[in-house]
Amino acid sequence: MKNDYNKPLPIPQPESDKFWNGLKKKEIWVQKCSSTNQYQFYPRTHCIFHNQNDIEWVKVSGDSTLFTYAIVYQAPMHSFLDDVPYVNALVKLNEGPIIPSNIVDIEPDPSNFKIGMKLKPVFVNVNKNFTLLKFRPA
Amino acid sequence: MPNLNKLKNLSGKMSIVGVSESDQIGKVPEKSPLALHAEAAINALDDAGFHLSDVDGLFTAGWSTLDIAEYIGVQPRYTDSTSVGGSSFVIHIAHAIAAISAGYCEVALITHGQSGRSDRAPQERHLGIPMVQFEYPYGIIGPPSSYSLACSRYMYQYGEDRTRNAMAEIAVSTRKWANLNPKAYFYDKGMTHDDYHNSKWVSWPFHLLDCCLVTDAGAAIIITTNERAKNARKKGVNILGVGEGHDHSMISQMPDLTKAFGIKTGPQAIEMSGISINEIDLAMIYDSFTYTVLVSLENIGFCKPGEGPDFLLEKSIKPGGNFPLNTNGGGLSYTHPGMYGIFTIVEAVRKLRNEAENRQIENCNLALAHGTGGLLSSTATVVLGI
C-alpha cells in the first residue's frame, strides 16, 4: 500500500458510501430494483427504471465480462505518467450493470483482449481509506 | 416529446445575420478567454451591421452570462448559459429562436471564447459528481479515454479494419480542407494516410491524428427575426430545423456506445426543415475525434448503423468531392478550443453566403451542422438554408 498515492480519489456521497465501504471489505454491493429486478450502477436514491425508491442493496461476486476497453498511452494527468500504458474498461457484471474500471494482470496489447472475455474482480487498496475495484482475466 | 407540428411553424422564421471568429485563433496567449468572446461578438455584430445596443438576448456556455454581458457591455433581457459541452452553441440556436418567437428578445447574440491552449486560469469540474467519483480514480479522464472506449466497442461490433480505414479517410480529407483555409492551425501542413497510421497512440484505438486540436479561439453568432434581418448588411441565412438533447454524462452510462443522441436530434432537425436528408449540400459534423464524425453520420441518418465506413468509401469527402464535410478543416485541423460547436455554424453560414473563397463549394443551398458535447453525451443538429 502506497502512502504517497496522488491519483484522484473518490469523494463518496451519502448514497454511495455503502459501495465504497464494501470494497474495503472486498465486497461488491450494487443496487437492485425490487419491482423490476433490474440492477443499476452507480448508486442512487431512486430506481432509474421506473421512478420509485424501492431499491435494495445486493452483494454480487464481481464475475463479469469485458464490454469494451481502451489502452491509454498518453497520461491524462501527471499522476498517471508512471502507469501508461494502462487499460481502461467498461465491465459488464453478470447481473447486468456496466461499471467503469481497469483491467490488470495482462499485457496491454490489443491482441490479448477479446470483448466478451470473462473477468474476475481484483480489490486494490490504494490507501487506508480507499479500495478500488479492478478486474483481471478469469 | 417535441411537437413537430408546432416546430414546423417556427421553421424558416428566423435568420442568422452575422457570424465571426475572434481576430486571431490558434495560439493566442496574449488574449484572455473573455477578450476572445468580446472580439468575436464585435466582429459578428459588424458582419451583421448591427450595434451592441441592438442585442437583447445573450447565450453562452462555459461562463455565466453575467460575466460575459458585463465584459462585452450589453444588458440582456433574456439570458441562457446552457452548458452541455461543445454542442452547447448549436443548442443555443434552438433556444434563441424559441426565445425570439415567444417575444422575450429580438436580437440574440451567441458568444464563445476559450483559451484551451493558453488559459492562465483553467477550469475544473465539481469533485462530487459521479464522473469524478466513479471514473476518474481509474484514469478514465477526459475525452480521449472516454471516446476511445466507445470506438473500441464500435470496432468490435462492425469490424476493426473498415472502421480504421474510415477514420484515416476522415483525418486525411479534413486536413486537405484545412490546407485551403488560411485560418486553420494546420493550413501549411499536409497529412498522408501513412502519417495517420504512423502517428503515436493516445488512447488505443485512437492515434494522435484521430484527435482534435487544443487551441485558443472565440466565435459569435447573431440571430434575429426575418423582419429585422432585412436591415442586416448581408442576406440572412434561414434557420430551418433544430434538435437537441442528451442521454448521459459519463461514458460508462451511455445507453449504447455506438449510438449518440444524434439518433434523435438529426431526424428531428431534418423533419422540422421539411427537407430530405439527400438534399443537404454541406455537412459540418463536430469532429472532436475522427470517430465522432463516423458515428454522427450514422446517427443523423446519412447512412444506417454500422454502414458509416461504406458510406465514406462510396462518397468523397475531400475538396472537390461529392459530399463536402467539415470544409473549414474541422476540430481536427482548423481549430478546437475545447467547445468547438459554434465553428460548425460559422463555416456553414459562410458557405451558404458564398463567402468561403477558395474552399467555396458550388450550389450550396442547404447545410447541416451537428454538435456533440461532453463524452458523446449531448448533441444538437441545425439545418440552415439560403
B143 in a structural domain: no
Would you call A100 and B250 a contact, using CB atoms and an 8 Å cutoff? yes
Is residue B327 scored above 90 in pLDDT? yes
Is residue A2 scored above 70 in pLDDT? no
Average pLDDT over residues A30-50: 92
Extract the C-alpha cell encoding A125.
Answer: 487498496
Instruction: Give Cα B136 distance to the centre of its chain.
Output: 26
**Amino acid A136: pLDDT:** 98
Q: Which of A30, A90, A107, A111 to mutate to test the interface with B (most CBs of B within 10 A)?
A: A90
The rounded distance, in Å, linking the Cα atoms of B72 and B272 is 34
A72 neighbourhood in chain B, CB within 8 Å: 139, 144-145, 203-204
Q: What percent of chain B has pLDDT over 90?
A: 97
Is residue A1 scored above 70 in pLDDT? no
Extract the C-alpha cell encoding B278.
Answer: 439527400
Please indicate if any CB of chain B lies within 8 Å of the CB of A109. Answer: no
Is residue B24 scored above 80 in pLDDT? yes
**CA-closest candidate to residue A7, choices A70, A62, A84, A109:** A84
Is residue B308 scored above 60 in pLDDT? yes
B199 in a structural domain: no
CB pairs under 8 A between A and B: 109
How large is the ipTM? 0.96
Q: For residue B319, say if its preceding peptide bond is cis, omega within 30 degrees of 0.
A: no
**Amino acid A42: pLDDT:** 97
The bridge status of strand B206-207 relative to strand B201-204 is: antiparallel
With 0.90 as the threshold, say if the pTM is over it: yes
Instruction: Give Cα B80 distance to the centre of its chain.
Output: 18
Rounded (to 5) percent helix, strand, coil in chain B: 40, 20, 40
Tens of pLDDT, residue by residue over B78-109, are 999 999 999 999 999 999 999 999 999 999 99
**Amino acid A3: pLDDT:** 61
Are B217 and B335 in contact by the 8 Å Cβ rule? The answer is yes
- State how many domains chain B has: 1
Would you call A110 and B204 a contact, using CB atoms and an 8 Å cutoff? yes
Would you call B137 and A10 a contact, using CB atoms and an 8 Å cutoff? yes
**Amino acid A52: pLDDT:** 75
B73 in a structural domain: yes
Tens of pLDDT, residue by residue over A46-93, are 999 887 778 999 999 999 999 999 999 999 999 999 999 999 999 999
* Chain B residues interacting with chain A (CB cutoff of 8 angstroms): 127-128, 130, 132-142, 144-145, 148-153, 156, 200-206, 250-252, 257
Residues ≥6 apart with Cβ < 8 Å to B227: none
Tens of pLDDT, residue by residue over B160-171, are 999 999 999 999
For residue B125, how many other CB atoms are within 10 A of its CB? 9
The rounded distance, in Å, linking the Cα atoms of B58 and B190 is 39
The domain spans of chain A are: 14-137
- Provide the shortest C-alpha distance from residue B130 to chain A (in Å): 8
B180 in a structural domain: no
B166 in a structural domain: no
Tens of pLDDT, residue by residue over B236-294, are 999 999 999 999 999 999 999 999 999 999 999 999 999 999 999 999 999 999 999 99
- Provide the shortest C-alpha distance from residue A34 to chain B (in Å): 21
CATH at B231? 3.40.47.10
Average pLDDT over residues A15-36: 96
Is residue B123 scored above 90 in pLDDT? no
Are B15 and B47 in contact by the 8 Å Cβ rule? The answer is no
Tens of pLDDT, residue by residue over B53-79, are 999 999 999 999 999 999 999 999 999
Please indicate if any CB of chain B lies within 8 Å of the CB of A131. Answer: no
Would you call A88 and B145 a contact, using CB atoms and an 8 Å cutoff? yes
Could you tell me the residue range of the domain that residue B252 belongs to?
A: 4-118+213-385
Would you call B152 and A69 a contact, using CB atoms and an 8 Å cutoff? yes
B156 in a structural domain: no
